[in-house]
Amino acid sequence: MFSLSRTALIRRCFVTAFAMLALGPFLAWWSLRSVDTMFNTPHHWIPATNQQRQEFEWFCEHFESQALVVISWRGCTVDDSRLAEFEVALLDPAQPDAVRRKELFDRVISGYSTLRQLTSDPIDLSREDAIARLRGILVGPDGSSSCAVVMFTDRGGYERREAIEIILDTAQTACGLARDEFRLAGPPVDGVAIDRAGVDTMLRYAVPSALLSLLLCWRCLREWHYALAVFAAAAFGEGLCLALVYWSGQPMNAILILMPPFVFVLTIAAGVHVVNYYFDEARAHGAAGAPERAMRIGWLPCALATVTTGVGLGSLLVSDVEPIRRFGVFATIGVVTTLFLLFALLPGVMELWPVRARRRVTERTMVEGFWGRLASVMIRRASIVTVGSIAIIMALGWGLLSIQTSIKLRALFSPHDRVLADYAWLEQRLGPMVPVEVIVHFRADSQVDFLRRIEVVQAVARVVRGIDHVDGVMSAETFTPPIPDARRVMRRTLLSKRLTKERARLVDARYLHEDSNRQSWRIAARVPALSDLDYEQFLDELKEQVAPAVTSASASIGEPIAITVTGAIPLIYQTQRLLLADMLRSFVAAFGIVGVVLMIVLRSVRAGLVAMIPNVFPTAAVFGLMGWLSIPIDLGSVMTASIALGIAVVDTLHFLTWFRREVAAGCEPPEAIRRCYCHCATAMLQTSVICGVGMLAFVFSSFVPASRFAWMVFVLLMTALFADLVILPALLAGPLGRVFVVRGVK
């Protein structure tokens, strides 16, 4: 494959470089376009066949979109006429862009207008009763603070940036306040904030990460020509990944922003290994012909290392979360492509600018002493290290059973972010901001009169209101006059007939839906966005407490009643469950495939199983410790378990390749281990540092998943380095190492 003349290697290098230069501007353009498509809709990440998603989309279609924005300001009360002015102005047909606004916004309600609706005919409540019904949704706990709620259309949900700008412009004009005085919350606000944080992370930290990686690459290789060649291949791979996002026709999202820099640092790490094979050949046999010899020796372990990394990434395809699957596909394409670029570029660069072998001999001698001492310790303490590492895997790995997930709003942004500040302000003044919807269904042919149905809904709403963390509840009962008790038969009959005629009012209020299959009544509740509420526990408690009320109501009316629980809370909980299941499935898939690859490469089932011990160590240690410490995994860390396995096995393969070569050449295992340290330990250290430190630039991102991903990759890489430089040599020096000794195999 690499038996080419010096001229051929140089020619291939120039052809590859020219092709990269020709495609570079196009990749840059497509990359920028992909960043511009940033759009995050977490509920679309869940499979379309998922029951929770289907129920949520049914609710949005038949009641109203959950894409809504709550807006308030200091001094905003139920008697603030500016609320009414804002309501009118936002959907005023006299506005120059009235048609556009109609496309984006469905309706607007506020505490001001709703209070006056409830205290007027036909409902005619007292002011105190009306405020009591609105408290926690449109009126704050003080009975005065209020807000406006803007419901978006489906189109408005997709074009939320423009919609929010229109809301702020209208509020600024109607209220006479500066834009930064308004407090906003709601899914569109969250989505825009995530989009903004994702783009900011890409634009602000991708370049520092690349430059830091380049600097480290040069510092490790000490040759600008090699460092620049590796950097060029890595940059091309990064651009290719972004271009793939653009070509896919799908938007960039908060998960995919981490893919290009990840591929970038992986490519640099692979390049460092390739160059170090060349350095080793030049030192041992001279610079003449060293590029060809190095590639003959190094292409297979480098290719296998890329395959195993690709397996770790490819295992993400088993995910039910769409962005995670796309991460796996695009990143795999990126690392495979850049490996071919490295193979095409580096031999020619090495021929054009040969290494100064004498200086390399001097530098190598300086580090061989350290690696020799470490090798001696591992050989002497092999049994202790082996038993200790297995014990650590078992002890910390037990914590994997307690691992938790979280995609709550508070877990996405830094504590000082404006989004969290606005949520905190609104929840303090108005009440909880996260919706959960309970839908009560009656049969289409139900014989229960209209008033009795409202009483059933009222009974269920009363139970929901009594659940911990629920501070606000609105339902059809909110928009009906006080219901007489059962003894006042005449008044109840008249009210029932009147409400039956006025059911259109409840449909317009979006608390009643009727079709040929059933009649559905909505109960809207709110829970805190910034609390430590356990969503799984909350949903279990909600269903457990509502069930007796539904059973009792069904018995009292003589026909079955069904309920559906949907909204943001069930979706978030479902996504959390999917994340945990994805982590387990992808890791098991990666573990199985990597294990098989190692068995094939090592030509031994036992050797493959033993070789997996240091590769399991990083995931068991890091994620197990997170489980013990109750540190939840999030969007940024859920992918790193499988990726860490794919990366960890890279160094394992390089170390085992040298070990088997030395044993085949006649060395006893202890001496072979010492030589392995001299051959590849420095390269292993360099690649881990370059990958880990290069990703650390993203630690400073205000977008927590990006910061967490960077931290996790760094910690996992350092843990994997420890496993390959400490645990693996100890395994090779101990009784288990015998499975790797196959004489005569090169």
The dihedral built from the CA positions of residue 194, 197, 200 and 202, taken in this order, carries a sign that is negative
H-only helix segments in 398-448: 418-429
CA 210/CA 695 separation, integer angstroms: 9
Q: How many CB atoms lie within 10 A of CB 692?
A: 23
Q: How many CB atoms lie within 10 A of CB 372?
A: 14
pLDDT of residue 524: 92
Task: From 264, 356, 227, 338, select the one nearest 713 (Cα to Cα).
Answer: 264
Q: What angle do CA 712, 715, 717 make, to 5 degrees?
A: 105
Whole-structure pTM value: 0.82
The tokens for 628 are 């013990």
Mean pLDDT of 316-337: 84
What's the pLDDT tens digit per position in 247-294? 988 888 877 887 888 788 788 888 888 888 888 888 878 878 888 888
H-only helix segments in 37-146: 42-45, 51-62, 81-90, 98-104, 111-118, 127-134
pLDDT of residue 364: 53
**Cβ–Cβ < 8 Å for 344, 16:** yes
What's the pLDDT tens digit per position in 405-461? 766 666 677 777 888 899 999 999 998 888 889 999 998 888 888 888 888 898 999
Lowest mean pLDDT among 57-61, 494-498, 511-515, 525-529: 494-498
Mean pLDDT of 363-389: 80
Q: CA distances (Å), 227 to each of 223, 350, 651, in order?
A: 6, 11, 20
Q: CA distances (Å), 28 to each of 25, 239, 257, 426, in order?
A: 5, 6, 15, 42
What's the pLDDT tens digit per position in 621-642? 888 898 898 887 776 677 677 6
Arithmetic mean of pLDDT over the chain:
85
Helix orientation angle between 322-352 and 6-36, rounded to the nearest 10 degrees: 150
Q: What angle do CA 397, 400, 401 make, to 5 degrees?
A: 120
Residue 357 reports pLDDT greater than 80: no
pLDDT of residue 699: 87
**Looking at the DSSP assignment, which residues form a beta bridge with residue 108?**
150
Q: How many CB atoms lie within 10 A of CB 415?
A: 10
Cis-peptide, bond into residue 618, ω within 30° of zero: no
Residue 393 reports pLDDT greater than 70: yes
pLDDT of residue 47: 79
CA 309/CA 571 separation, integer angstroms: 32
pLDDT band at 3 (very low <50, low <70, confident <90, very high): low
At 481, the amino acid letter reads: P
The tokens for 114 are 């709703």
Residue 73 reports pLDDT greater than 90: yes
**Cβ–Cβ < 8 Å for 255, 695:** no
Between 145 and 445, whose confidence is greater? 145
Highest mean pLDDT among 191-205, 478-492, 571-585: 191-205
Residue 745 reports pLDDT greater than 50: no
pLDDT band at 221 (very low <50, low <70, confident <90, very high): confident
What's the pLDDT tens digit per position in 675-721? 888 888 888 888 888 888 888 888 888 888 888 888 888 898 899 89
What are the boundaries of each domain within the chain?
6-36+192-402+603-740, 62-191, 429-573
CA 629/CA 727 separation, integer angstroms: 25
Share of the chain above pLDDT 70, in %: 93
Q: How many CB atoms lie within 10 A of CB 491?
A: 12
177 in the Ramachandran plot: left (φ > 0), alpha (ψ -120 to 50) or beta?
beta
**Cβ–Cβ < 8 Å for 569, 434:** yes
Mean pLDDT of 122-137: 91
What's the pLDDT tens digit per position in 648-667? 787 888 888 888 888 888 88
pLDDT of residue 107: 92
Highest mean pLDDT among 75-84, 205-214, 406-415: 75-84
Share of the chain above pLDDT 90, in %: 29
**CATH number attached to the domain at 429-573:** 3.30.70
